Amino acid sequence: MTVEDTNICDLETANDLLDRLTLRQLHLMEEKMCRELNIESTINNGCFHLAKSRYIMGQTSVSKERLPTESSIEFSASTMCETVEEAGETKLKIVENDKDTVNPMHWFGILVPQNLHKARNIFQNALNFVVECANIQIQLLENFKNINVLRKYKHHLKSVE
């Protein structure tokens, strides 16, 4: 087998891998768009339940004036994200924070309507979609880097011929 035959074989392999990576890129883009649509519909649904809560409790009970400001006491977020390595891939993962957390439901009173609880659950679900979307974005960027490496390799093979 000559060097030219080896280059042709490597070029075919590189083209095949490039095709596969491009198809994967398209599937990842489609998956990301689906997640973004899920985020949009979930947030709209959560806002609907917030509006219902505001209607039930009154305008002043559920408003931005009840939210903490810069002069409020400090507290830790109840949900945080951390980066983990799984099967050689970097991913984001939601982690519940147990220490020094404040229940945001208490900002609006002790007896809050069920719609406010539903809105909280819906927004927590939206966080899951956001993390999934971010993980897909990480995969898209990694896949794009691999495509560029293969293109450079292919260009190198053609220049050797």
- pLDDT, tens only, 92-141: 888 887 766 677 777 777 778 888 889 989 999 999 999 999 999 999 99
In a domain, 123, yes or no: yes
Instruction: Tell me how many degrees the CA angle 145-30-139 measures, rounded to the nearest 5.
Output: 30
Rounded distance between C-alpha atoms, residue 31 and residue 29, angstroms:
5
What residues make up the domain containing 118? 3-60+77-160
Residue 8 lies in a domain: yes
> Hey, which residues does 92 pair with through a beta bridge?
83
Least Cα distance to 139 among 8, 21, 3 occurs for: 21
Number of domains in the chain: 1
Whole-number Cα distances in Å, 15 to 8, 37, 135, 157: 10, 33, 27, 11
Tell me whether residue 101 is in a domain: yes
Q: Classify residue 70: in a domain, yes or no.
A: no
Please tell me whether the overall predicted TM-score, pTM, comes out greater than 0.95 for this model: no
CATH of the domain at 148: 1.10.287
